[in-house]
A and B are shown apart, each in its own frame.
Chain A
Amino acid sequence: MNQLISGIPVTYILGLAGILFSIGVLGVLIRRNIVIIFMSVELILNSVNLVFVTFSKALSHISGETIVFFVMAIAAAEAAVGLALVIAIFRHKKSTNVDELQSMRW
């Protein structure tokens, strides 16, 4: 396993990915706007992509980059379905605040 990827230590990149993941989780937890929660999920997916590319380069194996391509396709599908859901919920509730979505609470 290479300790350096084109002059950058692997631990730095993994640390950046961890920070990005934490910011995404924090955004999901503290924000109530449903579109911002959606963007935080995109941040989480991006940090995972960064870890995949880092280990693909450090271990000199190409499968990580291929899987990043698949993750991007899944993220695109999730964006299409999620934003259509946002539109449908907004048409029903006239709001993007997740605290007002209480119809499944019991």
Chain B
Amino acid sequence: MDEIIYMNLENSPSLLLFVFFATVTVITALSVIFQKNPVVSAVSLVFTFFSLAGIYGIMGALFIATMQVLVYAGAIMVLVVFVLMLLSQRAETLSRYRKHPIRLVLLSVFVIGFFFLLYSALTTGVPHSEQMGKGYENAEYIFPIQGTSTVNAKGNVATVGASTYLDYLLPFEMISILLLVAVLGAVILAKKKLTEVDQTKDTVL
């Protein structure tokens, strides 16, 4: 197996991209748990999610990479940062980057290079459809539709969609009910009591 690895290290950029994204993942994950300021931890967690999306892109799981950016780096991180701001954690230590321009420039260069590499990782997943594990080749699903001949689903997203709606239809519907119940529970938990609202209104007026 070792000679296979060395051979691939020479002629494919995928392993180098993987090493870069793995390094960024580990460093930012360590930064999440060792930072004093929770806002800095949240920003580190955003970079962890983006680099994991890059790894999914290299592996050819394009649907999962897209969902990683949309759900984790988008929705869940918005929730976390919003709650951090509601809890009035200290955010003023972020302004220390403004006092050190060299640190700010280094951070900007890292961010721009990171997103360029993320772009290249996601695009290397698509065009080489002949290679193994590049998103298209392995991704094939035969629709078991009754009464017709079988139809092949090509492409990663089509395959995942077909598997979701044909093999896992009942779990999918259960997930939708679970999300509805979770959102209702979140509203009930985060809502103030009516008496508290009346009291605060009295103090304000």
Q: Using a CB–CB distance below 8 Å, which chain A residues touch chain B?
A: 2-9, 12-13, 16, 19-20, 23-24, 26-27, 30-31, 33, 35-36, 38-40, 42-43, 46, 49-50, 53-54, 56-57, 60, 62-63, 65-70, 72-81, 83-88, 90-91, 96
* Chain A: CB-nearest residue to B83: A83
Within 8 A of A (CB), among B51-95: 52, 55-56, 58-61, 63-64, 67-68, 71-72, 75-76, 79-80, 83-84, 86-87, 89
Which residues of B have CB within 8 Å of A83?
Answer: 79-80, 83, 186
B183:A80 contact, CB within 8 angstroms:
yes
Instruction: With a 10 A CB-CB cut-off, give which of B29, B30, B71, B167 has the most chain A CB atoms.
Output: B29
* Chain A: CB-nearest residue to B57: A6
B14:A20 contact, CB within 8 angstroms:
no
A5 to B45, CA, bound (A): 26
Which residues of A have CB within 8 Å of B49?
Answer: 46
Mask, B25-49, CB within 8 Å of A = 1, is 1100110110000100110010011
* Nearest CB on A from B196, distance (A): 9
Main secondary structure of the interface of B (DSSP, over half): helix
A13 to B183, CA, bound (A): 34
A41 to B146, CA, bound (A): 43
A23 to B56, CA, bound (A): 20
B60:A6 contact, CB within 8 angstroms:
yes
A40:B18 contact, CB within 8 angstroms:
no
A8 to B18, CA, bound (A): 7
* Chain A: CB-nearest residue to B8: A7
B32:A39 contact, CB within 8 angstroms:
yes
A36 to B1, CA, bound (A): 40
* Chain B: CB-nearest residue to A89: B189
- Interface residue total, chain B, C-beta cutoff 8 A: 71
* Nearest CB on A from B30, distance (A): 6
A35:B8 contact, CB within 8 angstroms:
no
A43:B163 contact, CB within 8 angstroms:
no
* Nearest CB on A from B47, distance (A): 12
A57:B30 contact, CB within 8 angstroms:
no
A77:B182 contact, CB within 8 angstroms:
yes
A36:B14 contact, CB within 8 angstroms:
no
Tell which of A2, A4, A90 touches B8, judged by Cβ atoms closer than 8 Å: A4
Tell which of A43, A53, A63 touches B59, judged by Cβ atoms closer than 8 Å: A53
